[in-house]
Structure 1
Amino acid sequence: MTGRVPLSVLDLAPISSGSTAGQALRNTVDLARRAEAAGYRRYWLAEHHLTTGVAGVAPALLIQLVAAATERIRVGAGAVQLGHRTALSVVEEFGVLDALHPGRIDLGLGRSGFRAPRPGTPAPAAPPAVRPTEPRYTPEGLLIPAPYDFSSLIGSPLFARYTGLVQFPGSEPVEYGEQLDTILALLRGDHRTPQGIEAHAVPGEGADLEVWVLGSSAGVSAETAGALGLPFAANYHVSPATVLEAVAAYRKAFRPSARLTEPYVLVSADVVVAEDDETARHLASPYGLWVHSIRSGQGAIPFPTPEEAAAHPWTDGQRALVEDRIRTQFAGSSRTVVERLEVLRQATGADELLVTTITHDHRDRVRSFDLLAEAWQRG
């Protein structure tokens, strides 16, 4: 990409209604090849569990699939969920990937959305400022909606399935910053157990990985990324209300490291690009129903067709549940979406943008990425 900040891709390996997980994974390989040809900088695979609409459940496996099918594009996790993993398992998995594809692998680290606190852990500190309860616009024109309360998912069927199957019964989660310290020490090769015993991860030790931290708010993730001098990815597409808080907290906490001398921020956005605004809005119209399936606690459903979405009998409460995500999705012609992405970049000071796109038809999804890359390169 030239003339602007780099663009990268986030892929959930979505399953469309009437399709299969196998087809979704084949679509991922096809899209990755197209993204490399179009000039995107990196291709990240997300991690989701226990849903019928997403095949991206194992980032390391999908990274191997994509890296083997491409030649130059960086491939990584966006992100590995540390709430149910050990530091050693992560380093070994990504050590294998680096050994096979040296210098091309990104290790994105995130906290599980259903991570239970360690017994005796004090309650998190209050947010740095009172959040607005009404949508607002930044001076650049970026919409910052009212915050969505993710605590409503606690007690949902998805939460019950998740905690019962993803985490070991009776296990105690390790503090996030401690996990990151251990991962970095294992990669450097200077890890010591509490008893002073050396521990070496092979493959893993000395791996040429780009380590990233992903976060949605001004909390532990942003502060830890800054304190460790790591690059930070903030989620406008998941939590648009808190993206500015997250970026500000990261920059405030940043300390130079061997990796970075100054903060480096990547910001995500959900987009759909087509030949004109009307077509793009039509292709994007199932997005609200899909987001509702997640926020209502079901887990992501197979992505509907526009016709299936149009037939859904919406209630006012259902629309309110997803309004922030619908209003912050960038759907339009390449000119429209480029303008809105540039507003996002200006408002957040992003050094790079991460784009995710879901449409029912894979061909429309590929076309969206192609159109965006062409317009972005024109500057």
Structure 2
Amino acid sequence: MTRLSILDLAPIVSGGDARQALANTLDLARTAEAAGYHRYWLAEHHFTPGVASSAPAVLIGAVAAATSTIRVGSGAVQLGHQTALGVVEQFGTLDALHPGRIDLGLGRSGQRAKEFRAAADAPPPPPQEARVVDGLLIPKPFSFASIANKSIFTLWAQLLQQPGAEAPDFAEQVDDIRAFIAGTYRSAEGVEAHVNPGEGAELELWILGSSGGQSAQVAAERGLPFAANYHVSPSAVLEAVEAYCDAFKPSELHAKPHVMVSADVVVAETEALARRIAAPYGLWVRSIRTGDGAIPFPTPEEALAHEWSPEDRELVADRLDTQFVGTPAQVVERLRVLRDVTGADELLVTTITHDHADRVRSAELLGRAWKELS
């Protein structure tokens, strides 16, 4: 059976705070373990009023301590904001405390700052229309060009790095991390450096990506598993998986490509209830797409009171249209389509609701139905 895992952002909801969000994360992790999910990953986001997972290594340690068997990891460490050494020390410590249970997922978000700002000056890409591939919706791509020059992004980039610091190339950092773990790190001058804890750690290394660009290529060329983001960039998921699989080179751990694909889901006993619970999602995505950062997740009443303009709807259409909302059987069927079309070996689901009980119930219902119906 295809493994099912959870990605958690530790969402802060309207009327709530970070303390409650983190307590909810620990509770959902225990639920996920009891329901048979394979992994529990924590995201990394900064400067967002509606997300409390800004320090994934710290949160991973808390989740691992609150559970006993489920794998726990990052989805993903924003590598451009940290050194390879710092990442290996953090996750090496986690592995020493919870041996054999820690995943280290790496992403390029930190390195992409220049690319993001350059998007504002680049000519618009050729228009692409939505299409359906064997039952899976591939929406037309969303462009961040209209908000890429916001001064707030420059400030955020400055605050996340030391003054004058320049993030190394992503591939170089991944290679340094692998060398530190293997105990083979050498400087350009041939000087050795060893990391403790970290050297010899039983970390499962993953690369996360939203396109067929460098992340997919780095994962493929090193024979690492790759997680493609349908829930973030649904228009590019097939491109990302195809690029990874086409360039894959076998490694000691993986003789063939190993793909995980993410999806945003909300499950309830009835479709009507699921749609009501999921109603705030569009307003929450809108806050991200306008460049202001994720707002605390609204109540259904707050969301339904929002007056949507045509521009608003266009802003969030790809994310709303690719969110899987419904009964357990309905969502399982859509996840099976996602798995079959992408060739995914594993699926990673993320769920945000205003009421924590609804998020817990969604995980329980889906976990049970996946075992029975997938």
Give the TM interval when normalised to the shorter protein: over 0.9
Structure 1 position 136 matched with structure 2 position 128: no
Contact 1:211 1:231 in 2 (8 A): yes
Q: Deviation of residue 315 (structure 1)? A: 1.2
Q: Deviation of residue 132 (structure 1)? A: 5.9
Structure 1 position 356 matched with structure 2 position 353: no
Q: 1:40 aligns with which of 37, 42, 51?
A: 37
Contact 2:111 2:169 in 1 (8 A): no
Q: 2:10 aligns with which of 13, 33, 36?
A: 13
Q: Secondary structure at the match of 1:108?
A: strand
What is the correspondence of 1:173-188 to structure 2 with a 5 Å cutoff? 173-188=167-182
Q: Deviation of residue 304 (structure 1)? A: 0.1
**Where does structure 1 lack aligned partners over 5 or more consecutive residues?**
none
Structure 1 position 209 matched with structure 2 position 203: yes
Contact 1:157 1:297 in 2 (8 A): no
Structure 1 position 112 matched with structure 2 position 109: yes
Structure 1 position 79 matched with structure 2 position 73: no
Contact 1:153 1:159 in 2 (8 A): no
Q: Deviation of residue 249 (structure 1)? A: 0.4
* Map of 1:296 onto structure 2: 290
Structure 2-normalised TM-score? 0.95
Q: Secondary structure at the match of 2:104?
A: strand
Q: Per-residue displacement from partner, 1:237-284 (whole Å, max 9, x unpaired)? A: 000000000000000110001111110000000000000111101100
Q: Distance in 1 between matches of 2:205 and 2:127?
A: 33
Change in CA separation of 1:285 and 1:113 when aligned onto 2, cut-off 3 Å: farther
* Map of 1:366 onto structure 2: 360
Contact 2:81 2:110 in 1 (8 A): no
* Map of 2:306 onto structure 1: 312
Q: Distance in 2 between matches of 1:206 and 1:23?
A: 36
Contact 1:244 1:348 in 2 (8 A): yes
2:132 maps to amino acid: Y
* Map of 2:219 onto structure 1: 225
Q: Distance in 2 between matches of 1:153 and 1:233?
A: 26
Q: Deviation of residue 157 (structure 1)? A: 4.9
Contact 2:265 2:350 in 1 (8 A): yes
Q: Deviation of residue 114 (structure 1)? A: 6.6
Q: Distance in 1 between matches of 2:40 and 2:70?
A: 7
Q: 1:103 aligns with which of 88, 100, 103?
A: 100
Contact 1:117 1:173 in 2 (8 A): no
Q: Distance in 2 between matches of 1:132 and 1:307?
A: 36
Q: Secondary structure at the match of 2:103?
A: strand
Structure 1 position 30 matched with structure 2 position 32: no
Q: Distance in 2 between matches of 1:10 and 1:132?
A: 31
Q: Secondary structure at the match of 1:191?
A: coil
**Where does structure 2 lack aligned partners over 5 or more consecutive residues?**
none
Q: Deviation of residue 287 (structure 1)? A: 0.3
Q: Per-residue displacement from partner, 1:197-229 (whole Å, max 9, x unpaired)? A: 000011000000000000000100001100000
Q: Deviation of residue 150 (structure 1)? A: 2.7
Q: Per-residue displacement from partner, 1:30-60 (whole Å, max 9, x unpaired)? A: 0000000000000000000001000000010
Contact 1:9 1:44 in 2 (8 A): yes
Q: 1:66 aligns with which of 60, 63, 67?
A: 63
Equivalences, count: 367
Give the 4+ runs in structure 1 shifted more than 2 A.
113-118, 150-153
Give RMSD over aligned pairs: 1.6
Q: Per-residue displacement from partner, 1:305-355 (whole Å, max 9, x unpaired)? A: 010001112111111000000000000000110010001001100000000
Q: Per-residue displacement from partner, 1:60-115 (whole Å, max 9, x unpaired)? A: 00000000000000000000001111000000000000000000000000011673
Contact 2:11 2:21 in 1 (8 A): yes
